Amino acid sequence: MIDERTLARWITDAVVRRPVLWRLARGRMRDMFERIAPTWETRIGPHHLGALRKAVAEIEAPARVLDVGTGTGVAALALADWFPAAEVVGVDLSPAMLAEAESKGSRVRFQVADASRLPFADGSFDLVVLMNAVPFFDELARVTAAGGTIAFSFSRGPETPIYVAAERLRRELARRGFAEFEEFLADPATAFRARKR
Ligand SMILES: C[S@@+](CC[C@H](N)C(=O)[O-])C[C@H]1O[C@@H](n2cnc3c(N)ncnc32)[C@H](O)[C@@H]1O
């Protein structure tokens, strides 16, 4: 039987190459995170946020922030702390992960949504974040405002099951109007930041 890490990596690699494959993988991915939601945070450690923190440390304070694949809301809650005036929204496919996030009682708004079809208008967010989440580049580009920032973070760098290499992120984002690419390291975590023109 295939283990969770391998399944997550397979799905990520397949969907990044051919987003159309998501409809075949969606149920498996959702079931996996529904199952592991209560114990998700036993799998993450202090390394989890370091690179993301560096990636957003010097950006202009955003008014609206979206955390895609927010899970139990670890990044969304941190973003709400780092940007106290921002409206922060976290979306995830898994209601069980979001139930864990909501149980923390923060000011973040959590919503069930599929990253392949985000329920937001074009240009809705000044900062879009993905931490250990599968990117759907067309949708990410669509909901990011002109001049806005996108930040990807992988809490164990290339060892993260859901991981996309910086070269790939750069290529996909450049094709969709992003520039000013920067990479960050807070060992073992990595992050990648870009700005929409
Ligand atoms: C590895 S977890 C990361 C959770 C959180 N970002 C963190 O780092 O703690 C990946 C999350 O992405 C969610 N996810 C996977 N595919 C998704 C999609 N297409 N749309 C929204 N969420 C998705 C999963 O349900 C899961 O909660």
Over the Cα atoms of the chain, what is R_g? 15
pLDDT at position 2 is 79
Q: How far apart are CA 124 and CA 122, in angstroms?
A: 6
Best mutation site among 94, 102, 129, 130 for ligand 1, i.e. most ligand atoms within 8 A of its Cβ? Answer: 94
Q: How far apart are CA 121 and CA 138, in angstroms?
A: 13
pLDDT at position 116 is 98
pLDDT at position 7 is 92
Q: Which numbered atom of ligand 1 lies nearest the CA of 33? A: 25
Instruction: Return the bridge partners of 130, or none.
Output: 68, 152
Q: Is the dihedral of CA 47, 52, 55, 56 positive or negative?
A: negative
pLDDT at position 27 is 96
Span from the CA of 147 to the centroid of ligand 1 (angstroms): 25
pLDDT at position 1 is 64
Span from the CA of 134 to the centroid of ligand 1 (angstroms): 7
Which tokens is 185 given? 């390291």
Question: Is pTM beyond 0.95 here?
Answer: yes
Pocket of ligand 1 (CB under 6 A): 29, 33, 44, 69-71, 74-75, 91-94, 97, 114-116, 131-134, 162
Q: Whose CA is nearest to atom 4 of ligand 1?
A: 71
Q: How far apart are CA 64 and CA 66, in angstroms?
A: 7
pLDDT of the chain, 197 residues: tens digit per residue: 678 999 999 999 999 999 999 999 999 999 999 999 999 999 988 789 999 999 999 999 999 999 999 999 999 999 999 999 999 999 999 999 999 999 999 999 999 999 999 999 999 999 999 999 999 999 999 999 999 999 999 999 999 999 999 999 999 999 999 999 999 999 999 999 999 99
Q: Which numbered atom of ligand 1 lies nearest the CA of 97? A: 27
